Amino acid sequence: MILYHGSKSIVKFPEIRVQRYNKDFYFGFYCTLYPEQAVRWAIRFDGVGYLNEYVYTPESSLRVKRFPEMTEEWLDFIVSCRLGHAHDYDIVEGPMANDTIFNYVQNFADGKISREAFWALAKFKHPTHQISFHTARALATLSFVKGVEVRNEK
């Protein structure tokens, strides 16, 4: 399986970096099946970045959590991660809370909207894909293929 990672640099050796805020699936190295999505990640700050490509080889001994779609379990998992609660999965895969859905999740987490209101708002949004690697063993399933510069063409 081919996965993509958008970044400010070529990333031959992926690593897990602790950031100043918690992401959907907690701290990890995030990739996607969709190159267009990774390009958006790469150019989001100043219009220039790198699209990194990897071959992902699943390893059956790893603990993997998959969310095929947005569900109650997915929402609760993301809220928990964003509140700073770690999990014990090596890899987590599922829908990404895009910019709009991110705001809805944050409003739900902050108690500003109800669970029912979240689902009513999110119903017509189409989330994207993410797969996050949370351990060194998980990162070992990725093999770097190439990195190419990308630019905002607008």
154 in a structural domain:
no
153 in a structural domain:
no
81 in a structural domain:
yes
Please check whether residue 37 is in contact with residue 129, taking contact to mean a CB–CB distance below 8 angstroms. Answer: yes
152 in a structural domain:
no
77 in a structural domain:
yes
Give the chain's domain count: 1
Q: Give the domain range for residue 53.
A: 2-147
For residue 2, pLDDT beyond 90: yes
10-56, pLDDT tens digit by residue? 999 999 988 877 788 999 999 999 999 999 999 998 999 999 999 99
- Among positive and negative, which fits the CA dihedral 25, 31, 32, 38? positive
Percent of the chain predicted with pLDDT > 70: 95
116 in a structural domain:
yes
In DSSP terms, which residues pair with 5 in a beta bridge?
52
91-142, pLDDT tens digit by residue? 999 998 766 777 888 899 899 999 999 988 887 666 689 999 999 999 999 9
- DSSP codes of every residue in the chain: -EEEEEESS--SS------SS--TTSSSEEEBS-HHHHHHHHHTTTSEEEEEEEEE---TTS-EEE-SS--HHHHHHHHHHHTT-----SEEEEEE--HHHHHHHHHHHTTSS-HHHHHHHHTT---EEEEEE-SHHHHTTEEEEEEEEEE---
7 in a structural domain:
yes
